[in-house]
Structure 1
């Protein structure tokens, strides 16, 4: 699975990405996980299965869903999980989104 995170500048999510990569590896899952600035979402279309938005840009959800269309699942990361850096919960959330799309 390819999971892309997006936030205001791609900085705050970069720490979370590293935690998520470690957690996925620990679980034996070969996921590609990376973060970008929200302005790069359109350029990345077709490269991700799931797009997770940082809570700080949740106001862009409708616009982003319109851009992504049915090419991938899009959702906002739970603010508590995001704040805690709870990589396991966020991975589980991404997996659930993928299951729903199948």
Structure 2
């Protein structure tokens, strides 16, 4: 099972995106575990995931998250358009690409 961590400011809007991503994964038959946490709570979880995606509103904290994961997994800011439209399918696809090294 692939594990995805979404990082945001407070977890509200990202929780909606988690639901959309889970719907998209279910439709594709992909088994995933997605967790949404604020940056202040993500260090422990970051050690147990395959990819970390940051909400556009916390893009300025990418270097902090990069330091937490120490290069172990990909860290990327979610595309602003996909985030704004809550396009769970697009965000899921990008996460899977990052996990697979594409």
5+ residue gaps in structure 2? none
Contact 1:5 1:51 in 2 (8 A): yes
5+ residue gaps in structure 1? none
- Runs of 4+ aligned residues of structure 1 deviating over 6 Å after TM superposition are none
Aligned residue-pair number = 101
Map 1:10-21 → 2, pairs under 5 A: 10-21=11-22
Measured on the aligned residues, the alpha-carbon RMSD in Å equals 1.2
Contact 2:46 2:52 in 1 (8 A): no
Structure 2 CA distance, aligned partners of 1:27 and 1:40? Answer: 30
Displacement after TM superposition at 1:71 (Å): 2.2
Partner of 2:90: 89
Structure 2 CA distance, aligned partners of 1:20 and 1:100? Answer: 20
